[in-house]
């Protein structure tokens, strides 16, 4: 139970670490796409793209609706949000650190006078 989140983050970040998969995500950011539409821009076998899509699917970054012999893929931003949430925790922490630093600097200036 506890590790679901951790495992999903592993899968999300791993899925995003491949440029082909990021391009796949990009090419469906406005509209759902079939597997062959997604494969078209790449100089790579359909089987390879099929695997990439499965990796994205396991990370729940995309969803697939089977329609006859064609599969329509669409983005699922929930997983994207999970990743950004993780990241922003540390970004915020850091900017807070700088805010604090700035305050201390101001305090120091006040004391000068």
Partner DNA sequence: TTTATATTTAACCAGATGGTTGAATGATAA
Partner DNA sequence: TTATCATTCAACCATCTGGTTAAATATAAA
What is the binding site for DNA (CB under 7 A)?
14, 17-18, 20, 34-37, 39, 43-48, 50-55, 64, 67-71
Alpha helices in 28-76 (DSSP H): 35-39, 46-58
Cα separation, 42 vs 58, in Å, equals: 21
CB closer to a copy of itself, 46 vs 88: 88
String marking each residue 61-100 x if it binds a copy of itself according to CB under 8 A:
--------------x-x--xx-xx-xxxxxx-xxx-----
CB closer to a copy of itself, 46 vs 89: 89
Cα separation, 108 vs 4, in Å, equals: 47
**The entry of DNA, a copy of itself, none that residue 29 binds, CB within 5 to 8 Å by partner kind:** a copy of itself
For 48, residues 6+ apart whose C-beta sits below 8 A from its C-beta are 42
- DSSP annotation of 45 reads -
Smallest separation (angstroms) from a copy of itself to the CB of 11: 8
Cα separation, 71 vs 57, in Å, equals: 12
**The entry of a copy of itself, DNA, none that residue 56 binds, CB within 5 to 8 Å by partner kind:** none
Give the CA dihedral 90, 11, 13, 4, nearest 10 degrees. Answer: -10
Residues that bind a copy of itself (CB under 8 A): 6, 9-10, 13-14, 16-19, 22, 25-26, 29-30, 75, 77, 80-81, 83-84, 86-91, 93-95
């Amino acid at each position: 139970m506890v590790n679901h989140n951790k495992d999903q983050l592993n899968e999300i970040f791993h899925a995003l670490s491949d440029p082909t998969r990021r391009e796949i995500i990009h090419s469906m950011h406005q509209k759902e796409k079939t597997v062959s539409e997604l494969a078209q821009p790449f100089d790579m076998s359909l089987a390879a793209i099929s695997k990439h899509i499965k990796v994205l699917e396991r990370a729940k970054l995309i969803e697939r609706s089977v329609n006859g012999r064609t599969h329509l893929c669409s983005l699922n931003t929930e997983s994207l949000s999970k990743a950004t949430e993780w990241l922003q925790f540390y970004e915020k922490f850091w900017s807070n650190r700088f805010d604090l630093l700035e305050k201390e600097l101001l305090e120091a200036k006040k004391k000068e006078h």
